[in-house]
Amino acid sequence: MTTTLLIGMDGATFTVLDGLTTEHPEEGVVMPFLAEMINSGYSANLRSTKHPLTPPAWTTVFTGRTPGNHGVFDFVRFKDMGDDLYFTLYDARDIRTETLWQIASRKDRSVVSLNFPMMAPPPEINGSLVPGFVSWKHLKRNMWPSTLFDRINSIEGFNAREMSWDFERESQIGELMPDSELYAWVETHLPRDEQWFNIGMYLLQNDDPDLFALMFDGTDKIQHQAWHVLDPELWDGTGDEAAKSVRRLVIQYFRNLDRYLQEIHAAAGGEDCHMVIVSDHGFAASDKVVRINAYLAELGLLYWRESDGSESAKKRDLSDFANLDWERTLAFTPTPSSNGVVIRQKSEKNPNGVPPEEYEAFRDKLIADLLALRDPETGEAVITEVMKREDAFPGPAMEDAPDLTLVLADFGFVSIRNKTPFVVTRPTPFGTHHPDGVFLMSGPGVRNMRGDTMSIANTATIVAHAMGMEVPEDFEGVIPDDLFEPAWLADNPVKIGPPTRPMDAEMGIVGKGDDDDREATDEEREEVLEQLRLLGYLEDD
């Protein structure tokens, strides 16, 4: 019998869920199962990683370690070659710490892990793993074990094209789409999550894993594009018919999701199992475009590569990565999703960089200049916080993080385009990430209350304890004092065990490989980049 469920709802936020779990005059209670779980179980805001982005946040959920330790900071990583940058996608080989799936496996627990990002190529576990963030064409070779595809291919209605990202179809639609097009785009996500649910139910019922983990990411993708019909401050029910149609379809998505949660819970034994529902971050409205690289150019720290007017030069200027003069550029933002600024220090490859002895003074002045950027319409600061990497991402992987990480006033993502003015207002607010996600839990010994905001790193600690395992001493999360009833906790005390193992060849494919290996996946990389463009991570306006 499965004793522990870990359900991810990417980007889920109480801003939306509060309305969907209470009575609405026309829509009723959209998510009655979730409403009952909130009313009878434990709930709290879940504070994301310092930069609330999908790859570092979900990696923290399933490793119990923060980015400075697990090593994942963005969708895309880069290497400064001096005269150019080398870009690749982050993947499972970049994770420096054990995953919860691997820890449970070596403790003789069986695991099912479905649709979590950064899990391709898959690690070897005692159970089944299907990674998220993989196109349907490459899904079969990225599953563990190798026989898993043939098993799930026998499920009635199984369609790999539906369950995985269809990059080709989704990349045809731009960031700001009219509601008439948005309806068709949202519509594709209903059968997609249905596929993941069907696979999950099949493995749950046939394999009885000790830990069942499934992440639904339609919540995030839909909120990015359809935030204007979900945010209670933006939607009052008086939109045109196209907007109302999108709203009805989005509501149907959440009704379906609630049914999935209920059936998974029942299949795992209902009240006898622990069910944990978490999101990697929350959501909010972003109405500003902040062109950070253009501002760095104004400060004299960044220089654009001169264009000869050719088609290839124009294509470079419109690419998703800044087309810069690397001989003169001292500071730049590599990707919009990073919200980070990289300072180029002097080295053999970069002789014109900032001398090490001047780094601190250079960085302090840059922080002051960034905080001085104002919205021309309101005069208010558009950057509310600039975090040094040793403060945001302490740990052995810190050197791979941007020197500075920016928090915008509306929590939006920055732009890296060579455009002015530096700050403009969007014609329509766009859904963006907010640091506060959701934590929900039910099951034996779980208290009925609303707790204080907790760290996302707590998730792995709580799940490990719920499974009856020792909590590795290097896990960075804790179990909140008010999560369990004292009597239950007395019978099931928290036990601290040895630290997690370092990632090496004995732990499976994670940690193996090098950059030459990754060059063989150009097609996969371009497909993922297309999806990031669609969701606004690699586009500005």
What is the percentage of the chain residues whose pLDDT exceeds 70?
A: 89
Q: pTM for the full model? A: 0.93
For β-strands 76-80 and 85-89, DSSP reports them as antiparallel
* Residue tagged 């590795």 (tokens): 472
For 338: left if phi > 0, alpha if psi spans -120 to 50, otherwise beta; the answer is alpha
Q: Single out the residue of 242, 228, 237 nearest to residue 183, CA to CA.
A: 242
pLDDT of residue 323: 83
Structural domain spans, the chain: 4-165+175-281+435-523, 287-427
| DSSP string of 424-454, one letter each residue | EEEEEEEEEEESEEEEEEESTTB--EE---E
pLDDT tens digits, 270-298:
999 999 999 999 999 999 999 999 999 99
Is the pLDDT at 528 greater than 70? The verdict is no
In this prediction, residues 94-109 reach a mean pLDDT of 96
- Which residues have CB under 8 Å from 251's CB, separation 6+? 20, 27, 30
In this prediction, residues 418-441 reach a mean pLDDT of 93
Rg of the chain taking only CA atoms, in angstroms? 23
Class of domain 4-165+175-281+435-523: alpha beta
pLDDT tens digits, 463-479:
999 999 999 999 999 99
- For residues 332 and 350, what is the distance between their CA atoms, to the nearest angstrom? 14
User: What's the topology of domain 287-427?
Assistant: Gyrase A; domain 2 (3.30.1360)
What is the Cα 155 distance to its own chain's centre?
Answer: 29
Q: What's the CA angle centered on 528, arms 527 and 532, to 5 degrees?
A: 120
* Residue tagged 């302490």 (tokens): 394
Is the pLDDT at 268 greater than 70? The verdict is yes
pLDDT of residue 117: 94
In this prediction, residues 146-175 reach a mean pLDDT of 74
